[in-house]
Structure 1
Amino acid sequence: MPRATVFSACLLILAHSAAAADLDVPITEMAGDGRAATCAGSIVAGLDPAGDGFLAVRSGPGTNYRKIDELRNGDVVNVFEGVGPWVGVTYGRVSDGWPDPCANTGPARRVRDSQKGWIHSNWLEDLAG
């Protein structure tokens, strides 16, 4: 197979992967002044272990949007905004040196974390009271 064809195929695969990671409905972090958190920590809870055992992460606030990932009981999320019973979240590990994900000190902005999406709020419990 010629090198140009292999290179073109690789570019096509990379472009498809990047598009799949994009959300159909972006998540917005509210404006902040540095004194109050701009998101809230929650934990996934109440999923039936005898059922499918996961909470679908979707590309937008509703079941009509693509499923892009899965969360399980005990997974921790940062909740940024809500649309009806759906909430925009980030999840996964944060590396040392990254800024606090809930500490926006400027105008409202799109959430840029790589692990993000929309989940149904029925399966969340607040971490702080």
Structure 2
Amino acid sequence: MGTRENAYKKRRFPNQSPCLNGTDDGIWIREDTIMFEAGFIRSRGACAALALLFLCASLAAAKAESATPSVPVTASSDGIMDACNSVGRVTGLDPKGDNFLSVRSGPGGKYTEIARLASGADIFICDERSPWLGVIYPADDATVDCGTDAYSGEAKPYTGPCRSGWIHQKFVQVIAG
């Protein structure tokens, strides 16, 4: 701490640690004292609470701006073909890497990751927005009926009982259909 700063501290703030900023002309300004004297802030706790409030508000606003709405996987059948025309298997993942395939809430990397599929997982391919595939897959029990035969007629968003999402076609091998 320089001598000018020490003298300022002793003269103006003998019992407080300084929070000083130097200016080009050598004048030292205590910013928190200016805020106190102007009546904007009554205590250091209020200052911290106000700063925290602004930080939380700005983070919430940033998250709301970056949140991309989900794009549902649609399924439909004409009565002859199945609602999901193909069955695929997750392949080609790097075993030395993450060794999972991200399932996204929409067809693109900007969408939220909603699940992860392991290598070898079987999926029903129901929708496509190249290079992304809209897929349906069982949550845990691979023997569960995903109910895609109920989707006849006009394309409708898939609502269950299985899970659905979007995966990149690069890591899918079509095994039927």
- Fold in common (TM above 0.5): yes
CA contact (8 A) 2:87 2:123 kept: yes
Counting only pairs closer than 5 Å after superposition, residues 35-54 of structure 1 correspond to structure 2 as 35-39=80-84, 40-54=86-100
TM-aligned CA deviation for residue 49 of structure 1: 0.5
Query: RMSD of aligned C-alpha atoms?
Result: 2.1
Mark the runs of 5 or more structure 1 residues left unpaired by the alignment.
1-22
Identity %: 35
With normalisation by structure 2, the TM-score equals 0.53
> What residue number does 1:19 align with?
none
TM-aligned CA deviation for residue 105 of structure 1: 2.7
**Partner secondary structure for residue 127 of structure 1:** strand
Supply the distance in 2 between the matched residues of 1:99 and 1:56 (Cα, whole angstroms): 20
> What residue number does 1:109 align with?
156
Counting only pairs closer than 5 Å after superposition, residues 32-111 of structure 1 correspond to structure 2 as 32-33=78-79, 35-39=80-84, 40-92=86-138, 93=141, 98=145, 100-102=147-149, 104-111=151-158
Supply the distance in 1 between the matched residues of 2:89 and 2:109 (Cα, whole angstroms): 21
CA contact (8 A) 1:58 1:67 kept: yes
Structure 2 residue identity aligned to 1:78: F
Supply the distance in 1 between the matched residues of 2:146 and 2:122 (Cα, whole angstroms): 17
Q: In 2 relative to 1, CA 66–47 (structure 1 residues): closer, same or farther, beyond 3 Å?
A: same
Which has the higher relative contact order, 1 or 2, with Cα contacts under 8 A spaced 6 or more apart? 1
Aligned residues: 105
- When Rg is computed on C-alpha atoms for both structures, the one with the higher figure is 2
Residues 4-48 of structure 1: CA deviation (Å, up to 9, x unaligned): xxxxxxxxxxxxxxxxxxx70011113421x21121110001111
Residues 34-93 of structure 1: CA deviation (Å, up to 9, x unaligned): x21121110001111111100000011011000111001110111111112001111123
Mark the runs of 5 or more structure 2 residues left unpaired by the alignment.
1-68
Supply the distance in 2 between the matched residues of 1:56 and 1:24 (Cα, whole angstroms): 15
